[in-house]
Amino acid sequence: MRAEATFIGVEVDDAVAQDTAVATKLAEVCPVDIYAVEGGHTVLIEENLDECVLCGLCLDAAPDGAVRVLKLYDEGAALQRA
């Protein structure tokens, strides 16, 4: 799954998006509510994407490589884990 706004894009691996535990964790850790849980699955709240503060908490909450935060203003460069 992928969603884009003006400055930020987010990709979540489809298999991981179906995992209720990961979906819940993503929704809990995001300070700007980009992630939510519907029907036990991760959904992206597109109107919140550009509110991303690049904290990386979603990267830490998901399995390696399962979530990518893309800086569209920087030619789509992916946010790296700290």
CA 57 to chain CA centroid, Å, is: 9
CATH number for the domain formed by residue range(s) 2-78: 3.30.70.20
Q: What does DSSP assign to residue 29?
A: H
Kindly give, in sequence order, each residue whose CB lies less than 8 Å from that of residue 18, ignoring residues fewer than 6 positions away: 40, 41, 42
The pLDDT profile of the chain, 82 residues, written as one tens digit per residue, is: 999 999 999 999 999 999 999 999 999 999 999 999 999 999 999 999 999 999 999 999 999 999 999 999 999 999 998 7
CA distances to 29, 30, 39 from 56, in Å:
10, 9, 25
pTM for this predicted structure: 0.94
